[in-house]
Structure 1
Amino acid sequence: MKKFDTNGFQRLGGASSKRLRHDLGQALLEQAPCDSLTPAQSTTQLFNDLEGSWFGNRGWNIIALPSRGSTPASPGDFKLLVLPYAETLDVRNAGAPARNRGGSVDQFVAALEYQQRVSNKDTGEALHVENGMFMNLSEIIDNDNQTQPLPEFNVARSGTIPHGDAIMLLSKPPITDKGAPQIPNISSLPPDIGQGAPLGYLDPYLVPREGINVSNPNATLRQDLEMQAAAGFEILETRTLLLDSAQAGGINNIPFVVRHANATRMQAVFWLEKVRNTQTGQEFDQLQYTQIIDLVFHLKFGQTDPKSLITWPHITINTMVKQ
């Protein structure tokens, strides 16, 4: 059996948690037990721990693309790319909260800027660059200085990439649980390709590949946790954040993307974990995520309606450690 290299899960140095803002309320928040935090406080705590520099080299990118010579308005073949990647994610305080003036009420948005860079783990080739913000939308105050109820979606994430896509994802407050996350199964296969597809059309998803469960990528995230546990790492706490463009958000794309492989929806699940090395006592922050972007191209088999297109899940996963 291949020996598990724990270096990929070690924090190299630096503080494992930074404050978003230095104030008395923040100091009190840090002293409060997690189970007594309000949703707004829990959100602020997650933002505190998200700030910093993250690195992970256990990433995987699974994406189906239109095959050469295919056209958007007809059934066609596809090319499946499965690439391992390394990633850096730098998250920085954007400064004083931005004030959204609403007349009778004002909203104060605390934000974190992020820059994500992804490269092919095998070749070093650049694969992805993204810039954006995480926004804490929790604080809304009326003219009598009274705090208003927490918005249903109190976390937002914006982002832009050079392919010509801009995202706005929204989330409800994070959920805090003791111990390791319960990472569900997902499928990377399109949910509906229509009727009459050639035999073996989706077989590329079933080809075994070392290091990744292509048809169910979340199984690979769970395997990371299993290997960690066997190597003496214990997850003390997990905070889960589910961001989705369908929750009052959206995606805007340039015309080429819309015509040839339109991105219609994005979901991102973050599991922010407090981890302890039971052999050394060291504690550090770990971030696991799954992102799913729905791409639509090619008619469903047996269909003629140009709007009846196959949805192809573009999935990325990684396990990252704060540096």
Structure 2
Amino acid sequence: MLTRFRPGPSLNEQVEQLGLLASLAGRWSGNGYNLIMLPDFDSTPPSTGNKPFRVLLSATHETLELTPIGADVPNRGSQLPGNTADGQPDIAIFGLRYLQRINDADSHEPLHIENGFWLNVPSSKIPKEDPSVVRLGSIPHGSSILLQGNAFTSPDGKPQFATLDSTPQRNPAGAALGSGYLQPLTDAALPPRITNKDAVKNPNVVLADAIKPFLEHMKSTTVITVSSKTAGGVMNIPFLQNTTSNNAAATNVEATFWIETVQPDDGHSFEVLQYSQKVILNFLGIDWPHISVATLFRQ
């Protein structure tokens, strides 16, 4: 489908049309933590099979680059012939394109690469929808995501990190998982850079520890939260579709981003970007949380 862009707006106009997404724009770099459980039937490295699954915990280094599209993207409304009262006018979408790259912080092994768009979507009357933010992403495993949510300013100016439980759950629901599935996660050794022992059960503690030195001087926080459950979903190539195989299929993605402004008493202000993301991977009839968190600084 051909996308026709209108003449590019000025920088100030772009910032206004991006809404709270404007605070995401730029280049960010920093460190994080990744928790994932993977099928391990194969004995070919990096797999270590023959086992049902393995637990992989990694300290990570990440760069995230976000650039304004530079023009509005008109989505065409329509109306029935001769009926102007019930028509839906066009809407104009502004957004950012992004590139995310994540490596193991110690071995420098590449762990993840993703590109896509963040979109600021205005309200519409047909269908009747409130304004929203949308994240579109493509991952070279053969998966694409569409997440929808909203952006807002934190009432107290600080981030709030909910408990993010890493416990796998049987799906479809059935008998509780036994120790053979739960103990390997409990026994998993944290990478040397991650020191909080609670990071296996709740990876969000890594975010709380990282931002603790700056909380006293934090002036504002923008919160962006998106989910594939709200509207959208996850698409996978046939190899990753559980309807035809038992391979690891991504079935749901939820993420929260916090853009924090810190103003020290004796220095210039700076910005910190933190995020927490939970992807559900389904294999062996079990939903396995794949959780990534990171604390990045504007470059």
TM-score by length of 1: 0.74
CA displacement 1:217-249 (0-9 Å, x = unmatched): 0111111122444xxx62111111110011111
Write the letter of the residue equivalent to 1:151. E
Deviation at 1:22, TM superposition (A): 3.1
Deviation at 1:86, TM superposition (A): 0.5
Write the letter of the residue equivalent to 2:278. I
Deviation at 1:159, TM superposition (A): 0.6
1:67 correspondence with 2:40: yes
In structure 2, what is the equivalent of residue 313 of structure 1?
289
- Whether the 8 Å CA contact 2:14–2:70 is kept in 1: the answer is no
CA RMSD of aligned residues (A): 2.6
In structure 1, what is the equivalent of residue 181 of structure 2?
201
Write the letter of the residue equivalent to 1:271. W
In structure 2, what is the equivalent of residue 257 of structure 1?
240
- Which residue of the other structure, out of 27, 30, 52, is the alignment partner of 1:56? 30
Flag the 1:310–1:287 CA change in 2: closer, same or farther, 3 A: same
What SS does structure 2 have at the residue aligned with 1:277?
A: coil
Return the alpha-carbon distance in structure 1 between the equivalents of residues 176 and 104 of structure 2.
36
- Whether the 8 Å CA contact 1:94–1:112 is kept in 2: the answer is yes
Q: How many residues end up aligned between the 2 structures?
A: 263
1:166 correspondence with 2:144: yes
Flag the 1:269–1:126 CA change in 2: closer, same or farther, 3 A: same
Aligned-pair identity (%): 35
- Whether the 8 Å CA contact 2:27–2:63 is kept in 1: the answer is yes
Q: How does 1:79-90 map to 2 (within 5 A)?
A: 79-90=54-65
Write the letter of the residue equivalent to 2:105. K
Return the alpha-carbon distance in structure 1 between the equivalents of residues 261 and 183 of structure 2.
39
In structure 1, what is the equivalent of residue 132 of structure 2?
154
In structure 1, what is the equivalent of residue 112 of structure 2?
128
Deviation at 1:289, TM superposition (A): 0.5
Return the alpha-carbon distance in structure 1 between the equivalents of residues 179 and 273 of structure 2.
40
Deviation at 1:179, TM superposition (A): 2.7
Return the alpha-carbon distance in structure 2 between the equivalents of residues 311 and 149 of structure 1.
33
In structure 1, what is the equivalent of residue 268 of structure 2?
282
What SS does structure 2 have at the residue aligned with 1:174?
A: strand
Return the alpha-carbon distance in structure 2 between the equivalents of residues 98 and 188 of structure 1.
38
1:77 correspondence with 2:61: no
Flag the 1:149–1:271 CA change in 2: closer, same or farther, 3 A: farther
In structure 2, what is the equivalent of residue 224 of structure 1?
210
Return the alpha-carbon distance in structure 2 between the equivalents of residues 271 and 125 of structure 1.
27
Could you list the runs of 5+ residues in structure 2 that have no partner in the other structure? 1-8, 44-50, 79-86
In structure 2, what is the equivalent of residue 291 of structure 1?
277
- Whether the 8 Å CA contact 2:14–2:94 is kept in 1: the answer is no
- Whether the 8 Å CA contact 2:255–2:278 is kept in 1: the answer is yes
Return the alpha-carbon distance in structure 2 between the equivalents of residues 65 and 174 of structure 1.
35
Return the alpha-carbon distance in structure 1 between the equivalents of residues 295 and 154 of structure 2.
19
Return the alpha-carbon distance in structure 1 between the equivalents of residues 22 and 176 of structure 2.
52
Flag the 1:282–1:21 CA change in 2: closer, same or farther, 3 A: same
- Whether the 8 Å CA contact 2:123–2:130 is kept in 1: the answer is no
Flag the 1:292–1:249 CA change in 2: closer, same or farther, 3 A: same
In structure 1, what is the equivalent of residue 121 of structure 2?
137
- Whether the 8 Å CA contact 2:123–2:131 is kept in 1: the answer is no
Deviation at 1:106, TM superposition (A): 0.5
Write the letter of the residue equivalent to 2:175. Q
Could you list the runs of 5+ residues in structure 1 that have no partner in the other structure? 1-19, 30-40, 71-75, 143-147, 299-308
- Whether the 8 Å CA contact 1:160–1:166 is kept in 2: the answer is yes
In structure 2, what is the equivalent of residue 46 of structure 1?
20
- Whether the 8 Å CA contact 1:240–1:271 is kept in 2: the answer is yes
Deviation at 1:62, TM superposition (A): 0.6
- Whether the 8 Å CA contact 2:61–2:103 is kept in 1: the answer is yes
Write the letter of the residue equivalent to 2:96. L
In structure 2, what is the equivalent of residue 99 of structure 1?
74
Deviation at 1:177, TM superposition (A): 2.5
- Whether the 8 Å CA contact 1:137–1:151 is kept in 2: the answer is no
- Whether the 8 Å CA contact 1:234–1:275 is kept in 2: the answer is yes
